[in-house]
Amino acid sequence: MTRLLHRAIHSRMPVAVGGRGIELFDAEGKAYIDASGGAAVSCLGHAHPAVLSALHEQLDRLAYAHTGFFTSEAAEALAELLIADAPAGLSHAYLVSGGSEAVEAALKMARQYFVEKGEPQRRHIIARRQSYHGNTLGALAAGGNEWRRAQFKPLLVETHHIDPCYAYRLQESGESDEAYAARAAQQLEDKILELGADEVIAFVAETVVGATAGAVPPVADYLKRIRAICDRYGVLLILDEVMCGMGRTGTLHACEQDGVAPDLMTIAKGLGGGYQPVGAVLLSEKIFEAFASGSGFFQHGHTYMGHPMAAAAGLAVQQVIRRENLLANVVAMGAELESQLVERLGNHHHVGDIRGRGLFRGVELVADRAGKQPFDPKFKLNGLIKKEAMARGLMVYPMGGTIDGRQGDHVLIAPPFIVERADITRIVERLGDAIDAAVG
39 binds ligand PMP (CB under 6 A): yes
Q: Which residues does residue 236 pair with via DSSP β-bridges, in sequence order?
A: 202
- 72 vs 100, which CB is nearer to ligand PMP? 100
- 75 vs 412, which CB is nearer to ligand PMP? 412
- Using left for φ > 0, alpha for ψ between -120 and 50, and beta otherwise, residue 300 falls in beta
- Using left for φ > 0, alpha for ψ between -120 and 50, and beta otherwise, residue 274 falls in left
- 211 vs 411, which CB is nearer to ligand PMP? 211
Helices and strands in the chain, H and E counts: 14, 15
- 133 vs 357, which CB is nearer to ligand PMP? 133
- Interface residue with ligand PMP, options 96, 103, 309, 403 (CB under 6 A): 103
| Contact pattern for ligand PMP over residues 234 through 273, marking x by CB under 6 A | ------x-xx------------------------x-----
CB 238 within 8 A of CB 266: yes
Smallest distance from the beta carbon of 70 to ligand PMP, in angstroms? Answer: 25
- 98 vs 356, which CB is nearer to ligand PMP? 98
Smallest distance from the beta carbon of 306 to ligand PMP, in angstroms? Answer: 16
- With a CB cutoff of 8 Å and minimum separation 6, the contacts of 126 are 159, 160, 161, 162, 188, 191, 192, 195, 200, 202, 203, 204, 235
State which residue has the least CB distance to ligand PMP.
99
- 125 vs 366, which CB is nearer to ligand PMP? 125
Residues 122-161 that bind ligand PMP (CB under 6 A): 132-134
398 binds ligand PMP (CB under 6 A): no
- 132 vs 166, which CB is nearer to ligand PMP? 132
Alpha carbon distance, N-terminus to C-terminus of the chain: 33
Q: Which residues does residue 373 pair with via DSSP β-bridges, in sequence order?
A: 368
210 binds ligand PMP (CB under 6 A): yes
- 92 vs 248, which CB is nearer to ligand PMP? 248
Strands 90-96, 279-284: pairing is: antiparallel
- 206 vs 423, which CB is nearer to ligand PMP? 206
Smallest distance from the beta carbon of 279 to ligand PMP, in angstroms? Answer: 6
CB 5 within 8 A of CB 363: no
Cα gap 328→332, rounded to integer Å: 6
Cα gap 409→412, rounded to integer Å: 10
Smallest distance from the beta carbon of 6 to ligand PMP, in angstroms? Answer: 15
Cα gap 12→239, rounded to integer Å: 36
375 binds ligand PMP (CB under 6 A): no
- With a CB cutoff of 8 Å and minimum separation 6, the contacts of 174 are none
Residues 61-100 that bind ligand PMP (CB under 6 A): 98-100
How many CA atoms lie less than 13 Å away from 402 in the CB half-sphere? 22
CA distances from 306 to 91, 117, 201 (A): 17, 27, 26
- 100 vs 159, which CB is nearer to ligand PMP? 100
Handedness of CA 338, 344, 348, 351 (dihedral sign): negative
Number of residues that bind ligand PMP (CB under 6 A): 15
Q: Which residues does residue 26 pair with via DSSP β-bridges, in sequence order?
A: 16
Smallest distance from the beta carbon of 318 to ligand PMP, in angstroms? Answer: 17
- Interface residue with ligand PMP, options 110, 211, 271, 327 (CB under 6 A): 211
DSSP string, 42-81: -TT-B--HHHHHHHHHHHHH-S---TTT---HHHHHHHHH
Smallest distance from the beta carbon of 149 to ligand PMP, in angstroms? Answer: 15
Cα gap 349→432, rounded to integer Å: 12
374 binds ligand PMP (CB under 6 A): no
Smallest distance from the beta carbon of 302 to ligand PMP, in angstroms? Answer: 12
- 96 vs 439, which CB is nearer to ligand PMP? 96
CA distances from 252 to 42, 327, 414 (A): 15, 8, 15
| Contact pattern for ligand PMP over residues 279 through 318, marking x by CB under 6 A | ----------------------------------------
What amino acid is encoded at 244 in this protein?
Answer: C
Smallest distance from the beta carbon of 268 to ligand PMP, in angstroms? Answer: 5
Smallest distance from the beta carbon of 107 to ligand PMP, in angstroms? Answer: 12
List of residues contacting ligand PMP (CB under 6 A):
39, 98-100, 103, 132-134, 206, 210-211, 240, 242-243, 268
